[in-house]
Structure 1
Amino acid sequence: MSTTLDVVKGFYAATQTHDDEAIVAMLHPDFQARTAPGMPCGAGGSFHGTRDAMMRIWGAVFRDFDTAAYAETWQETTDGTVVVTGHYRGAARATGRAYEAEFAHFWRVTDGRISWLHQYTDTAAWRAALE
């Protein structure tokens, strides 16, 4: 049986290989996400539901960026929230410009699947790569 931390680590592995099916499989049917409002390509805001979140967040990001999230620190809190910090690294597909943007992710897992994400990131770094 996977621990909460294992589930979250699996998510990062799936994003690094752009494995859309694995990402969807890891998301709880009642998945909720809140991403940085300034994210480009319509990926910022509040999202609910597995397919909606997948397409509107990661589908849009993977369409416009060759990118992945690289976790550097992991902390599980006493209430079961997993806090991860690290950097997104990649390049904008339209311009070829590389970027690196710091992030902080807050995760919750329910019934072995990711049920909640709150993301903070340096949206200016993402946008600069598109210009």
Structure 2
Amino acid sequence: MSTASEVVRGFYRAAQAGDGGAILALLHPEFRARTAPGMPCGAGGAFEGPEETLVRVWGAVFAAYDTAPYAESWHETADGLVVVTGSYRGVSRGSGRAYEAEFAHLWRVTDGRISWLHQYTDTARWHEALAATA
């Protein structure tokens, strides 16, 4: 049986590969996400279910950016909460501008699949990358 951290590591591998099918396979049927308010592309807020989150968060972001999250530190609490910090790195597809935005992700794993995500990130960096250069 995989630990919660191992399951979450699978998400980062799938996101870095841009593999939506692998992301869906990792998500619990009752998956819920809360993403940072102010995320571009309508990707900020509360989302219910794997498919809605894939389309409205990751799909929207991957359409506008060539990007991925890169974990730097991992912490798993006694009750199974996985806390990951790191940075999103990538390029806006529209402007060609590179960006890096720090993040903190809080994850829950239920029955071997990811059931909950709460994302914090520096949304200003995301928006700066979208802006056309002068």
Q: How does 1:51-130 map to 2 (within 5 A)?
A: 51-130=51-130
SS in 2 for 1:41: helix
> Deviations for 1:14-33, whole angstroms, at most 9, x for unmatched residues?
00000000000100000000
> Deviations for 1:88-109, whole angstroms, at most 9, x for unmatched residues?
0000000000000000000000
4+ long deviations beyond 4 Å: none
Paired AA for residue 93 in structure 1: R
> Deviations for 1:60-81, whole angstroms, at most 9, x for unmatched residues?
0000000000000000011110
CA distance in 2 between partners of 1:79 and 1:118 (Å): 16
CA distance in 2 between partners of 1:119 and 1:6 (Å): 18
Quote how far apart the aligned CAs of 1:127 are.
Answer: 0.2
Give me the TM-score of the superposition, normalised by structure 1. 0.99
Give me the TM-score of the superposition, normalised by structure 2. 0.97
Paired AA for residue 80 in structure 2: G
Paired AA for residue 12 in structure 1: Y
Tell me the equivalent position of 1:39. 39
CA distance in 2 between partners of 1:74 and 1:101 (Å): 17
CA RMSD, 1 decimal:
0.4
CA distance in 1 between partners of 2:114 and 2:12 (Å): 12
CA distance in 2 between partners of 1:117 and 1:25 (Å): 15
Paired AA for residue 63 in structure 1: A
Tell me the equivalent position of 2:24. 24
CA distance in 2 between partners of 1:28 and 1:92 (Å): 30
Paired AA for residue 6 in structure 1: E
CA distance in 1 between partners of 2:39 and 2:20 (Å): 20
CA distance in 1 between partners of 2:63 and 2:52 (Å): 15
SS in 2 for 1:78: coil
Quote how far apart the aligned CAs of 1:38 are.
Answer: 0.6
How many residues are aligned here? 131
